[in-house]
Structure 1
Amino acid sequence: MRSFLASGLFFSLASAAAIKRDGGHYNYGHHGKGLNIQVGPRPYYLVDDMDEGPLKKKLESCSEGPFKTSDFVFSHRGAPLQFPEHTREGLMAGRREGAGVLECDVAFTKDKKLVCRHAQCDLHTTTNILNVTELASKCTTPFKPSADGKPAEAKCCTSDITMDEFKTLCGKMDGFNPNATTVTEYMDGTPYFRTDLYSTCGTLQTHDEYIDLVNSWGLKFTPELKTPEVEMPFDGYTQEQYAQDMIDAYKKRNISADRVFAQSFLPDDIFYWIKNEPAFGKQAVYLDERVDTPEGYDNATASIPELAEKGVKILAPAFFALTKVDESGEIVPSEYAIAAKKAGLDIVTWSFERSGWLNKGGDYYYQYVAPVINNDGDMYNVLDVLVHKVGIRAIFSDWPATVTYFASCFNL
């Protein structure tokens, strides 16, 4: 209860009229029913920052809502623009902001239990483990201060500790200071465009806890099987068993496969689910990172028909790969996007609100359209192309409210 009162206080007070006590538990409604979806000031800031034109007028016309939960909106790690990722508080924020599908990146612990963490070895940047002496000593690489021009170093993995030990940790905003000479300095590295305001002690989630929480809201799931950073098999634990264990957690609870979008960057995981768990495999999401280099982009585009033949139904590259700027200066669908649609594949893409300020053309996520990006409001121009020209099925967002505003305006 302490963590609910601490990090979730804003949401509990702001939505008091929509929440009621029921049998000792807080009732947040079922898939938006009885829940007041709130988008806060950020979408209005972005719309106001847009250049004048039809899209801005359309979005302005939707300023008073109503705003609704949408399966178009995938909550990326909760709401990590302001909340520690993969925490109960972050999931609560994503749900309040209208996400119809919430994510748990799935890693395994030393005792082969499944937990929510973006990477198997990110505990040193996303939790307080380095401040917990008895657990810090178990890290793959204990903290080493910056010295002689070399950056500070640490590496702490979920597989270094048990699930019970994992649950004693606090989530913090992801970040670190490479110039740190102390643990305190190392942990003080939150990116400038985020905040530590809700990072008092984020409540970490096991995969089972995530399922039960999201299921209690009647929403959908998108668990990502994280690529292991240890050699597999791990103490006899195979990749296939890992993939199966993730699916079994939903089957154990009789959760319908059409509520689960299992993800992986490893194509073999996708093919495993297609073959062994076809009900889940038919909407498994292949996270395609091959597009990160020009050669990889070309190869990925050429391989799309073969992926479709093998049963892949949903592709998910970073959204930069889905657009480009044509000779007239317009943002249009990329060759990759066109090939995916031609092959009959759905597209889910990632991750909105992960770039900070866009007044200098954006970053990784806007690299193919940087020449026509010069302010934060241009985010909505890119999203409009992704929706109405590329035809994406959904998009992950670090701040779901931004996409919920757009989705509600266009009835997505």
Structure 2
Amino acid sequence: MRTLVSLAALALAPGMALAEAHATATPVEYGPRPAYLIDKLPDGDLKDKLASCMGQDASKSDFSIGHRGAPLMFPEHTVQSNVAAARMGAGILECDVTFTADHELVCRHAQNDLHTTTNILVSDLAEKCTTGFTAASGNTPANAECRTSDITLAEFRTLTPKMDSADKTATTAEDYQGGVANWRTELYSDKADLMTHAESIELFKSLGAKFTPELKSPSVEMPHDGFSQEDYAQKLVDEYVAAGIPASDVWPQSFNLDDVLYWVENTPEFGKQAVYLVEWSDGFDEQNPETWKEDFADLKAKGVNYLAPSLNMLMTNKDGAIAGSDYAMAAKEAGLTLIAWTLERSGPLASGGGWYFQSISDVVKDDSDYLVALDVLAQDVGVVGVFSDWPATVTYYANCMGL
């Protein structure tokens, strides 16, 4: 297996050095987790089919999408997290895109997450945060808010990434750095490297992966110092054009329908694969059209081809078993291509699976239901891709099922 080659340097020096470091095909390995989940499945056709593939050659699949890389164990949106995802066979990788004070695009899940995903609160940049650290007191949890828009790109580069976490009981900024979920790990956080959006493009290209950048909602009022929402959406596309990436390899995403329609109307080649993200909200009933915010026919008429709902919107409890929801079937019947997010982000499923599995929590029993849900999404709902915090599971399934 190829080892990581001076990743700290590569993160700051994209282009030839980065491409040369991963010039050969990225080897794909499943690791122990897919087999572990298969072993937990109850006896039946799904277990038999997946077990029959134990000896298969591992290969990359576009059905497998790295969600922020592989953040179940690696700090999200880092070089290392995405290299790990590629080595698990994720054929498509994600950079969540936001911007700095000088309007440079960087990979962060939110514009205002630096206080939980980096060491900014214990660095010299802490004083630049929108809201500095406030210690926990009585029933009031510890708090802070640090945005990429609080600092320049040069300052962003000085930060050290960490697992996304915060100790809400902390009385010091140092203690606030903790709070990592007990089903994640800090074993792979040492010397991880942040990325700009342009650097992510070079890295993903060198790994042989395709691209699904998400334009994140700004925490600042737009336009920001003359930088409009349209400028923001256009700059994302421009960086793929500058890197010579064909539009057919890019699936730009946004929760903001106006962003998706901007790409459809102004960058039509990229707009063909623009993804409209939607998520469960209060009052949503996956079986009741009166609660759906989306008008599927109208979306298609406006040129939207891809819809990416959260997992809980796509599945339901049907006679005590996980099944595709009426919402999912209606969207598919309207001609929308579906993508699901996010598998293996809930930790152990013994307690029902939390937010992502809330529509089926009463039938979720243990971690093997990750595979049951994945099978329903692929075979019944017909999604074309699944985001995961640990892409090996989705890759294994896709390879076994010939997706």
TM-score (norm 2): 0.93
Q: In structure 1, what residue type is equivalent to 2:300?
A: A
Whether 2:301 is the aligned partner of 1:309: answer yes
> 1:148 Cα deviation (Å)?
3.3
Q: For the aligned residues, what is the CA RMSD? A: 1.9
Aligned to 1:158: 148
Over the matched positions of the two proteins, sequence identity in percent amounts to: 49
What secondary structure does 2:260 align onto? helix
Aligned to 1:292: 281
After superposing the two structures, state which structure 1 stretch, 389-398 or 360-369, moved more.
360-369
What does the per-residue CA deviation read over 1:335-364, in whole Å, with 9 as the maximum and x for residues that have no partner? 110111111110011001101111122111
Q: Structure 1 residues 23, 253: CA separation in 2 closer, same or farther (over 3 Å shift)?
A: closer
What secondary structure does 1:360 align onto? coil
> 1:301 Cα deviation (Å)?
6.0
Aligned to 2:186: 196
CA contact (8 A) 1:349 1:394 kept: yes
What secondary structure does 1:324 align onto? strand
> 1:254 Cα deviation (Å)?
2.0
CA contact (8 A) 1:6 1:200 kept: no
Q: Structure 1 residues 221, 185: CA separation in 2 closer, same or farther (over 3 Å shift)?
A: same
CA contact (8 A) 1:69 1:100 kept: yes
> 1:7 Cα deviation (Å)?
8.5
Whether 2:357 is the aligned partner of 1:366: answer yes
Q: Structure 1 residues 6, 256: CA separation in 2 closer, same or farther (over 3 Å shift)?
A: closer
Aligned to 1:78: 69
Aligned to 1:171: 161
CA contact (8 A) 1:301 1:335 kept: no
Number of residues paired by the alignment? 391
Tell me how far apart the structure 1 counterparts of residues 213 and 244 of structure 2 sit (CA, whole Å).
16
> 1:150 Cα deviation (Å)?
1.1
Q: Structure 1 residues 301, 130: CA separation in 2 closer, same or farther (over 3 Å shift)?
A: closer
Whether 2:64 is the aligned partner of 1:89: answer no
For 1:333, which of 306, 324, 338 is the aligned residue? Answer: 324
What secondary structure does 2:97 align onto? strand
What does the per-residue CA deviation read over 1:212-268, in whole Å, with 9 as the maximum and x for residues that have no partner? 111122320000000001111111110000000000001112211000000000000
> 1:293 Cα deviation (Å)?
2.2
CA contact (8 A) 1:301 1:339 kept: no
For 1:252, which of 242, 249, 253 is the aligned residue? Answer: 242
Q: In structure 2, what residue type is equivalent to 1:49?
A: K
Tell me how far apart the structure 2 counterparts of residues 171 and 383 of structure 1 sit (CA, whole Å).
30
Q: In structure 2, what residue type is equivalent to 1:370?
A: S
For 1:186, which of 176, 179, 188 is the aligned residue? Answer: 176
> 1:378 Cα deviation (Å)?
1.3
Structure 2 regions of 5+ residues with no counterpart? 9-16
Aligned to 1:397: 388
Whether 2:339 is the aligned partner of 1:348: answer yes
> 1:74 Cα deviation (Å)?
0.7
> 1:202 Cα deviation (Å)?
1.6
What does the per-residue CA deviation read over 1:309-328, in whole Å, with 9 as the maximum and x for residues that have no partner? 111100001111111112x3
Q: Structure 1 residues 402, 242: CA separation in 2 closer, same or farther (over 3 Å shift)?
A: same
CA contact (8 A) 1:7 1:199 kept: no
